[in-house]
């Protein structure tokens, strides 16, 4: 019997109301709750249930007055009873008297009539709506049509809700993947990379244990995991091709195994494991590891889980490779560091040895020069005595030879002095006696000597002085040494023309220069001049004699006076050496 409310013209109202109610939600539970409200309003019944297909069973998803509501273990096998028959055939059943139907299995004795319709999406039965009444013949064809219409609308709503849920799940997984990509790529430490991988996937999967295995020297080793003890992880290893993971490593193809007991090549690790999923971690085409998830229930992993972990593994592969490379580089730089330290310490001891040798050499030179100088002085003195006929007459020939001996002895003496000077300069033991010094009278007097020497060599000589030269502060002997060196060089390297000594007063210093019209010095050689033992024009220098120490000593002396020395020269045209000495502030003295 149809309730008074469900008259023909109410049909559209009901459908409209149903549509509005159930389509307002994208959540399956809410949809079912709304259906229950509508059913109560429009049908007269004792018991209403919504059973959903789950594998080969029907399970309770919604009910009004059902005695087993809330019982998680309650189910009906597909094919059993009226509801089971509807689920099996996908066709509705209207039973006017249940007592006359052999298929009927009563949970409550008082039920007399029943109406059961399938809920189908895409032609597939996903559940049933079932109404029972304590009255005979409580439902008619109209009720059947109405409940079927309701079921159809519900099916659409549930399908939408499912679609929405899987869409939302996908979005969630994508977001998760994106997050993991960021986290994974932000680290170069392998452990960090693997831990992030575990954390991200653990959020998404129904697992009991996860292990990340990496290939090393042709074998699989566990590198990280959850649901294992540290010892289990450290001790796990497998051959390529051995067991599920070994097979995935070998083929490079993922495996999803719903029932481990039916898998021929499973090597029993944990007795509790029921299903397993293993995904290769590939860098390009090369398998570098396996991502393995195990579950203590059957059917824990589906295609989507596999795709998700594959995407994750793809990201991880790059990061794992980077981390491995980084570790290698780090190891390499450790080795390099050790090598550099070793080399440095070798260099240090070599340097110490060199310093020791250098000091030994300096000591030797200074001792020898010193020891030679004393006898040299007496030799020169005695030659002088003999030459000047102080010890009896000397003939012209003897005098000439003694003159030569005297000159050579003097040369040796100066050489020894240069050696001692450079030694002192290097040891920073040169002693200076700075005093106010009238450079003008000094230059006038000194120039007379130079003039004589020039005349002897048929060279011209000139002295150019400004009107008044301020007093400078200097060590007179050292300035004489500087002048002697510059002038002796000029004389040595000049065959024709002449020599000029010039002084100029600058704002803070006096500049003195010695110019010649000699062989000149090339641009390149000018840079080397002031280094010790540098004789830049070997031929000319050898011929002229000398040690190559003069300019090095000269430069050191000038700099000790706070001045500067430089050269301007052109090959074949002559050279000008100039130096400065600072002016003393109070110029009275
Ligand atoms: N006035 C100059 N003209 C050309 N060459 C010069 C002149 N002065 C110095 N030199 C070059 O510089 C070198 C270094 O000079 P110096 O240090 O005084 O050593 P030494 O006079 O013992 O050779 C000389 O051997 C020579 O080649
Ligand atoms: Mg010289």
What is the model's pLDDT at position 5?
A: 46
What is the model's pLDDT at position 1?
A: 43
pLDDT band at 586, cuts 50/70/90? low
SS3 content of the chain, % helix, strand, coil (to 5): 50, 20, 30
Mean pLDDT value of segment 333-358 = 89
The proportion of the chain whose per-residue pLDDT surpasses 70, expressed as a percent, equals: 93
CA distance 143 to 11: 10
Residue in the structure block whose two tokens are 């440095």: 344
What is the model's pLDDT at position 2?
A: 44
pTM of the model: 0.48
Task: State pLDDT tens for residues 6-35.
Answer: 444 566 677 777 777 666 666 778 888 888
Strand partners, 52: 59, 127
What is the model's pLDDT at position 24?
A: 67
**H/E stretch holding 445:** helix 439-456
What is the model's pLDDT at position 31?
A: 81
Residue in the structure block whose two tokens are 């190559």: 548
Q: Cβ neighbours of residue 578 under 8 Å, at least 6 residues apart?
A: 511, 512, 513, 514, 565, 566, 567, 568
CA distance 268 to 275: 12
Highest-confidence range of 86-100, 176-190, 195-209, 297-311, by mean pLDDT?
Answer: 86-100
Buried b (16+ CB within 10 A) or exposed e, 170-194: eeebeebbeebbebbeebbebeebb
What is the model's pLDDT at position 196?
A: 81
Radius of gyration of the chain (CA): 56
Question: What are the tokens at 19?
Answer: 């549509």
The proportion of the chain whose per-residue pLDDT surpasses 90, expressed as a percent, equals: 43
Task: State pLDDT tens for residues 425-439.
Answer: 988 889 999 999 999
514 CB less than 6 Å from ligand 1? no
Q: Cβ neighbours of residue 281 under 8 Å, at least 6 residues apart?
A: 212, 214, 287, 288, 289, 290, 291, 313, 316, 317, 320
Q: Which of 83-87, 225-229, 366-370, 432-436 has the lowest mean pLDDT?
A: 366-370
pLDDT band at 545, cuts 50/70/90? low
Highest-confidence range of 164-168, 240-244, 355-359, 557-561, by mean pLDDT?
Answer: 557-561
133 CB less than 6 Å from ligand 1? no
Q: Which of 40, 290, 249 is nearest to 150 (CA)?
A: 40
What is the model's pLDDT at position 55?
A: 86
Ligand 2 center to 177 CA (angstroms): 81
- Beta strands (DSSP E) in 173-330 are 209-216, 219-226, 237-239, 255-257, 275-283, 286-295
The HSE-up count of residue 211 (CA atoms within 13 Å, CB side) is 28
- Please count the residues of the chain: 589
Q: Which of 11-15, 238-242, 320-324, 350-354 has the lowest mean pLDDT?
A: 11-15
- Is pLDDT larger for residue 206 or for residue 180? 206
**Greatest pairwise CA separation for the chain in angstroms:** 174
Which atom of ligand 1 approaches the CA of 546 most closely? 22
In the DSSP assignment, the letter for residue 584 is P
Task: State pLDDT tens for residues 74-83.
Answer: 899 999 999 9
> Among 541, 544, 555, 574, which residue has the most ligand 1 atoms within 8 Å of its CB, making it the best to mutate?
541
Helices (H), 241-291: 243-251
Mean pLDDT value of segment 579-585 = 86
What is the chain's mean pLDDT, rounded? 86
Task: State pLDDT tens for residues 453-487.
Answer: 999 999 999 999 999 999 899 999 999 999 999 99
- List phi, psi (to 5°) of 120: -120, 140
Question: What are the tokens at 3?
Answer: 């309730």
Secondary structure class of 228 (helix, strand, coil): coil
- Predicted confidence (pLDDT) at residue 114 exceeds the cutoff of 80: yes
> Would you say the C-alpha torsion 525, 529, 535, 540 has a positive or negative sign?
positive
> Among 525, 529, 530, which residue has the most ligand 1 atoms within 8 Å of its CB, making it the best to mutate?
529
Task: State pLDDT tens for residues 354-367.
Answer: 988 888 888 888 88
What is the model's pLDDT at position 544?
A: 60
Secondary structure class of 240 (helix, strand, coil): coil
Calculated CA dihedral for residues 5, 9, 13, 19, nearest 10 degrees: 110
- Predicted confidence (pLDDT) at residue 450 exceeds the cutoff of 90: yes
Angle 414-419-420 from CA coordinates, rounded to 5°:
95
Q: Cβ neighbours of residue 297 under 8 Å, at least 6 residues apart?
A: 206, 274, 275
What is the model's pLDDT at position 264?
A: 79
Mean pLDDT value of segment 37-61 = 88
Ligand 2 center to 524 CA (angstroms): 19
* Residue 122 zone, left/alpha/beta (φ > 0; ψ -120 to 50; rest): left
Ligand 2 center to 488 CA (angstroms): 6
Q: Which of 443, 501, 503, 510 is nearest to 470 (CA)?
A: 510
Sheet holding 460-464, edge to edge: 460-464, 498-505, 509-516, 574-582, 565-570
Ligand 1 center to 551 CA (angstroms): 7
Secondary structure class of 220 (helix, strand, coil): strand
Ligand 1 center to 541 CA (angstroms): 7
* Residue 463 zone, left/alpha/beta (φ > 0; ψ -120 to 50; rest): beta
Mean pLDDT value of segment 174-191 = 74
- Is pLDDT larger for residue 547 or for residue 101? 101
Q: What is the DSSP string of 109-170?
A: TT--EEEEEEEEETTEEEEEEEEEESSTT---HHHHHHHHHHHHHHHHHHHHHHHHHHHHHH
What is the model's pLDDT at position 271?
A: 77
CA distance 4 to 41: 11
- Predicted confidence (pLDDT) at residue 178 exceeds the cutoff of 80: no
Ion ligand 2 residues within 5 Å by Cβ: 489, 546, 550
Secondary structure class of 194 (helix, strand, coil): helix
- Predicted confidence (pLDDT) at residue 587 exceeds the cutoff of 50: no
143 CB less than 6 Å from ligand 1? no
CA distance 489 to 552: 13
């Amino acid at each position: 019997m149809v309730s008074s409310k469900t008259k023909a013209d109410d049909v559209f109202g009901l459908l409209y109301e149903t549509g509005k109610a159930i389509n307002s939600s994208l959540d399956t539970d809410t949809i079912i709750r709304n259906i229950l409200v509508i059913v109560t309003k429009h049908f007269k019944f004792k018991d209403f249930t919504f059973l959903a297909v789950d594998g080969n069973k029907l399970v309770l998803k919604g009910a009004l007055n059902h005695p087993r509501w809330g019982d998680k273990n309650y189910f009906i096998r597909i094919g059993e009873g009226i509801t089971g028959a509807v689920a099996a055939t996908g066709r509705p059943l209207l039973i006017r008297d249940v007592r006359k139907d052999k298929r009927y299995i009563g949970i409550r004795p008082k039920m007399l009539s029943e109406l059961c319709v399938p809920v189908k999406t895409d032609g597939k039965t996903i559940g049933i709506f079932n109404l029972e009444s304590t009255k005979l013949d409580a439902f008619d064809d109209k009720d059947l049509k109405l409940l079927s219409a309701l079921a159809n609308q519900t099916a659409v709503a549930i399908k939408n809700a499912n679609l929405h849920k899987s869409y939302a799940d996908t979005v969630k997984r994508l977001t998760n993947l994106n997050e993991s990509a960021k986290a994974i790529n932000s680290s170069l430490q392998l452990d960090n990379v693997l831990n992030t991988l575990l954390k991200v996937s653990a959020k998404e999967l129904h697992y009991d244990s996860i292990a990340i295995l990496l290939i090393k020297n042709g074998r699989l080793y566990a590198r990280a995991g959850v649901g294992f003890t540290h010892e289990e992880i450290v001790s796990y290893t497998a051959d390529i091709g051995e067991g599920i993971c070994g097979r995935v490593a070998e083929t490079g193809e993922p495996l999803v195994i719903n029932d481990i007991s039916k898998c021929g090549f499973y090597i029993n690790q944990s007795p509790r494991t029921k299903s397993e999923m293993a995904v290769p971690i590939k860098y390009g085409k090369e398998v570098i590891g396996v991502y393995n998830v195990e579950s203590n229930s059957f059917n824990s992993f589906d295609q989507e889980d596999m795709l998700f972990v594959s995407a994750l593994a793809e990201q991880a592969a790059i990061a794992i490779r980077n981390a491995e490379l980084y570790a290698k580089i780090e190891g390499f730089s450790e080795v390099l560091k050790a090598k550099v330290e070793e080399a440095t310490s070798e260099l240090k001891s070599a340097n110490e040895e060199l310093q020791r040798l250098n000091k030994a050499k300096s000591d030797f030179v200074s001792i020898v020069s010193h020891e030679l100088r004393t006898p040299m002085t007496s030799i020169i003195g005695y030659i002088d005595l003999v030459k000047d006929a102080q010890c009896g007459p000397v003939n012209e020939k003897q005098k000439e030879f003694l003159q030569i001996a005297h000159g050579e002895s003097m040369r040796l003496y100066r050489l020894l002095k240069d050696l001692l000077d450079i030694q002192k300069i290097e040891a920073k033991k040169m002693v200076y006696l700075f005093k106010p010094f009238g450079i003008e009278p000094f230059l006038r007097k000194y120039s007379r000597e130079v003039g004589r020497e020039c005349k002897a060599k048929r060279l011209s000589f000139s002295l150019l002085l400004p009107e008044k030269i301020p007093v400078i502060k200097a060590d007179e002997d050292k300035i004489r040494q500087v002048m002697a060196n510059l002038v002796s060089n000029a004389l040595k390297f000049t065959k024709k023309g002449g020599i000029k000594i010039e002084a100029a007063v600058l704002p803070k210093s006096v500049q003195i220069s010695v110019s010649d019209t000699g062989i000149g010095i090339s641009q390149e050689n000018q840079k080397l001049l002031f280094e010790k033992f540098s004789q830049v024009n070997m031929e000319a220098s050898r011929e002229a004699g000398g040690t190559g120490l003069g300019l090095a000593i000269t430069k050191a002396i000038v700099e000790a006076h706070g001045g500067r020395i430089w050269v301007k020269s052109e090959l074949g045209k002559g050279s000008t050496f100039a130096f400065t000495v600072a002016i003393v502030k109070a110029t009275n003295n």
